[in-house]
Amino acid sequence: MKKILLSVVAVMCLVGFTSLSSADEMGKMKGEMKGEKDKMKGEMKGKGDEMKGKGDEMKGKHDEMKGDMKAEKDKMKGEMKGKMGEMGK
């Protein structure tokens, strides 16, 4: 009976130590995963900032083209008024 009881206690101790070491490893893995997550988050933020910069650049080009088109439109409008004035004479 004592041998069985000692065997049960020994097995319980082994299970207890195994679960403690597993919990320790799980904690380490959690820390590693958090580090990788933070690293990826930083990379994505950098890409987002890069894309935002490209968007601002595109907006600047758009505004520049808009200005060019307005100047061209005004020029054509002036030419049309001039031709219309000649026709009326």
Write out pLDDT tens, residues 9-64: 888 877 776 776 777 788 888 888 988 888 888 888 888 788 887 878 888 888 88
Assess whether pLDDT exceeds 80 at residue 5: yes
Strands (E), 9-89: none
Both tokens of residue 41? 């988050």
Q: How far is CA 17 from the centre of its chain?
A: 42
Q: What does the alpha-carbon distance between residue 58 and residue 71 come to, in Å, rounded to a whole number?
A: 20
Task: Please give the model's pTM, rounded to 2 decimal places.
Answer: 0.38
For residue range 63-73, what is the model confidence (pLDDT) as tens digits?
Answer: 888 888 888 88
The answer to whether residue 88 scores a pLDDT higher than 70 is: no
